[in-house]
Amino acid sequence: MLPRVLALGLFGVTLAACEKPPEPSSAAASAPAAAVNPFLAPSPLPYGLPPFDRIEHAHFKPAFEEGMAEEQAEVAAIVANAAPPTFENTIVALEKTGAVLDRVSRVFYALSSAHTNEAIRALRAELAPKLSAHRDGIMLNPELFARVSAVFDARDEAGLAGEDLRLVEETYKDFQRAGAALDAPARERLKELNSLLAKAGAAFSDAVLAEVNASGVIVEDESELAGLGADRRAALAQAAAEAGLGPDRWLISLRNTTGQPILTDLTYRPLRERIQRASEARGHRGGEHDNRARVLEILTLRAEKAALLGFPDYAAYAVANQTAGSPEAVEAMLSQLRPRAVANAQKEGAALQALMDQQSPGETLAAWDWSFYAEKLRAERYAFDAEALKPYFEMNRVLRDGVFHFAGVLYGLRFEPRPDLPTYHPDVQVFEVFLDDAPKGLFLFDPYARPSKRGGAWMNAYVSQSRLLGTPAVVANHLNIVKPAPENPTLLTFDEVNTMFHEFGHALHGLFSDVTYPRFSGTRVPRDFVEFPSQVHEMGATWPSILKNYAVHYETGEPLPAELLEKVLAAQRFNEGFRTTEYLAAASLDQALHRLAPEALPEPEALMDLEAQLLTDLGLAYAPVPPRYRTPYFSHIMGGYAAGYYSYIWSEVLDADTVAWFKANGGLTRENGDRFRERLLSRGSSVDAMALYEDFRGAPPSLEPLLERRGLRD
């Protein structure tokens, strides 16, 4: 199969019983790689689950080397075929290449995000230019492109249709976008650029993770933790102990976002300020983790790559194969939303300042005050405290009676625990998935934050569904919930509950895939479409019948009181100006940065001044609401979402319109679920994304439901 960028994004003894990868055993190191390396043959486990209990760090590099060599030989055989190029001997043959490389890449890059260590990071840096060169060796092979072009040119007379025809057309586009049509000198320069970008991207990612771990705020006076309950203080003390800080210390680890959830509850303002400033200083305070030079290197290299491929800037290159089509289309949408969002945020800020004037006279609203006073105002207006909700959201109950129940009601899915199957960490749970009692795949649930795990929440596929390859789906959700002390339950915030439903939407997109070719499987859809199904599934978190099923007090078994439920639902649009503004600030920065010419980029020490100027020019410079991500730790756009962070709001237009359709057509019925699954979720990218949407919806998407949801109507 064509080379892929993996990781949407341990070993030794057994992965289910160790916290970090030990060194490979001497026996494994001395045995012939082919005899012991589990990546060199299909997994014998159900559904092709990677045999984590057999995987050692020493297996990765030889498997990558063998995988690249194998794929090179497979491609060489396609090129050397004396028969005229056909769909089967060229396009389908390409889809079948690279099995070993695919297996090892999926595991390695999943673990580099979910359970990394120094050895993995070092190997990732070493592999980045090699894999980039390997991909270029295929995608920039002129003889291979000649065969692909021949099949493309003859597609009509060959009578190709449906998924076969789309595979030919999309493969041809892949080669064109990779630079296969360039002349020889340009192809060589493109290879250099790709290698440099791979190195810089890996270095940026490693620095972000290292900086998050290095930027934790240490508290030495417990009185500063006023506002936190005993359980949360115990969790912070445990984190400090695990970090080797000794007794009477509390460690507040940072999330990758600018805003930190703990600010909602801390009453001691100087500590809130210290946490906020530590968060925003990441990546631009000097030292080895400073990312400013890396950001500018990446932006410069991307701009040159785009120009080489005939695009005016990298944003134009990145958006050309998305549903938006052009940066102008993206800007047309963002420009409609920005002034409305900021106006709402300023109204919200004025209300918060009024509350501060009552409770803390003389203080001016700052970014570190927003969530704290917003929670107070929420409680005042809706008469409930977010902390009062947490006892009703015990994690395993939310998963079993919320997320899984929702999938059962809407789609007929059933989930059976498989504790017999190996995992890479003891916190990971494995479930076998059945659709109307027919085996469908495996779902891995990895909920807790740890130093070896990057921030945020995401889904990845260890095995992608494909009828051609005979593979079902093995998918995983990764969250970053703070793990409580062993004797305490895991109680979630409502945002964490919503995230569980969101990420599970991605998992369903992978599990429901029913396509022939791996090129189109699961979530391999346009980037500005991929968030749409996951956002739709957030509706399960607040759908009254679903919420009542899982929102049960973990101690008493009492359901969430009806009046509290009503207040939760009524409060959904509260603080929406803030949420929309912080997101739009990040999305607009992403677009603006990727539309700059190299000569417009500053020196590293002026990067943050450039960011500030761009926010001002875009009308988003409202100090109490900083961007959701500042540029030096904006992992999305320095990685796979380059010039694509707008995708979340673009997808939400489709999401809001779809949820409105569900509500207008009888709600969470099996008939509605089957329609959504069969017409859209199962099709991957085997059909144009917007064609799939309109086939499901029966009409083009409307912006009105989104404006209504976010309170952005004029």
Active-site residues: which are they? 503
- 416, β-bridge pairs: 432
Q: Which of 215, 333, 279, 317 is nearest to 588 (CA)?
A: 333
Instruction: Report how far residue 167's alpha carbon sits from residue 520's, in angstroms, rounded to the nearest whole number.
Output: 8
In three-state secondary structure terms, 477 is strand
Question: Beta strands of 159-215 (E only): which ranges?
Answer: none
Q: Which two tokens stand for residue 402?
A: 């919320």
In three-state secondary structure terms, 555 is coil
Straight-line distance from the first to the last Cα atom of the chain, in angstroms, rounded to the nearest whole number: 49
Q: Which two tokens stand for residue 124?
A: 């990732």
- 444, β-bridge pairs: 430, 476
Q: Which two tokens stand for residue 496?
A: 């964490």
Q: Degrees (nearest 5) of the Cα angle 579, 378, 564?
A: 115
Instruction: Report how far residue 500's alpha carbon sits from residue 492's, in angstroms, rounded to the nearest whole number.
Output: 10
Q: Which residue carries 């020490």 as its tokens? A: 605
- Answer yes or no: are the C-beta atoms of 513 and 465 closer than 8 Å: yes
Instruction: Report how far residue 233's alpha carbon sits from residue 100's, in angstroms, rounded to the nearest whole number.
Output: 46
- 431, β-bridge pairs: 417, 443
- Answer yes or no: are the C-beta atoms of 330 and 646 closer than 8 Å: yes
In three-state secondary structure terms, 382 is helix
Q: Which of 111, 202, 50 is nearest to 478 (CA)?
A: 111
